[in-house]
């Protein structure tokens, strides 16, 4: 059984998403994906623009976590 699924099944929605957002900032994958988005954004091609949009979304999430 997938532990994330089990957690989601037995917790209120607000508890689940708070936990996911808290873990996001300490995730090695979050940093790796952020660095990859920076790299893709440097090209300024169509993929770079998509990466820029995702990066802005991640920054908004980061601000929400801090406040």
pLDDT (tens digit, 9 = 90+) per residue, 6-51? Answer: 445 555 666 777 777 777 777 788 878 877 777 766 665 555 566 6
pLDDT of res. 6: 45
CA distance 57 to 30: 13
pLDDT of res. 66: 54
Question: How many domains is the chain built from?
Answer: 1
Residue 2, pLDDT above cutoff 50: no
Q: pTM value?
A: 0.33
Burial class (CB in 10 A: 0-12, 13-18, 19+), 4: exposed
Residue 3, pLDDT above cutoff 50: no
46: domain range? 3-66
DSSP secondary structure of 22-54: HHHTT-HHHHHHHHHHHHHHHH-SHHHHHHHHH
């Amino acid at each position: 059984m997938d532990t994330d699924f089990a957690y989601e099944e037995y917790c209120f929605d607000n508890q689940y998403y708070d936990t996911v957002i808290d873990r996001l900032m300490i995730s090695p994958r979050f940093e790796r994906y952020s660095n990859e988005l920076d790299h893709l954004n440097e090209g300024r091609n169509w993929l770079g623009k998509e990466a820029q949009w995702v990066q802005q979304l991640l920054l908004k999430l980061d601000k929400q976590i801090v406040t």
